[in-house]
Amino acid sequence: MSTSPHMSQDQLKALVGRAALAYVVPGQVLGVGTGSTVNHFIDALAELKDQIPGAVSSSVASTQRLLAHGIRVYEANEVGTLSVYVDGADEIDAQGCMIKGGGAALTREKIVAAQSQRFVCIADASKKVDVLGRFPLPVEIIPMAAHRLMRQFAALGGQASLRMQGEQPLVTDNGQHILDVRGLKISQALAFETEVSQWPGVVTVGVFAHQRAQICLLGTPEGVQTLNFSQA
């Protein structure tokens, strides 16, 4: 796909989705994330389906899309280490740490990321930030802990609200709820993830620092920019 200064955000997502095919290892199962950018990757991956055994998916939605293309989907426990995990991000910083979970699949995404040798993040240029936190931080929680966790985030200067779906709290693929936390500036992502992960009632915090990206393919009007965080 050629580039122009007038490419839409969706066109930029399609650009990086296709670029990620270069990181697919023939003959090996890969991990596939969730979201609009990943949907473009899945559509492009269909061209390589005869070269890979299949994929481990991080969400019901991605599983359905993979199967629709004739790509076999494995359960995480059926396979060992995955060669690569390809997923998007809501934000990514200069160290490859990310905020994820806008699509409510953060727990499964973090599990598949931890099972993978390399995390390749695909995103458009608007997702690159200096400090994480402008995007509301998703935190998957046990429902009975919601109000206490809201108070804990308030003590850190954040305003947490329950993610709703219509009149009811959104229920994740794991049967849990999500808090979206606004007003945070997360400059020490690794320490923040470690601390919040230990709070009783937190299932998964949407900071990916322990499972940060090694590569980010960033869609820009000038083309795909490759950021390498291996030494960051």
Token pair of 41 as six digits: 């990757």
**Which residues have a Cβ under 8 Å from the Cβ of 123 and sit 6 or more positions away?**
16, 37, 88, 89, 92, 216, 217, 218, 219
Quickly tell me which residue has 């991990």 as its tokens.
31
| β-strands 85-87, 30-32 pairing | parallel
For residue 81, what are the CA distances in angstroms to 3, 30, 90, 111?
35, 9, 25, 12
Residue 29: closest CA among 75, 69, 62? 75
Could you give the residue numbers annotated as active site? Answer: 109
Gap between the Cα atoms of 14 and 7, Å rounded: 11
Rounded Cα gap, residues 206 and 35, in angstroms: 15
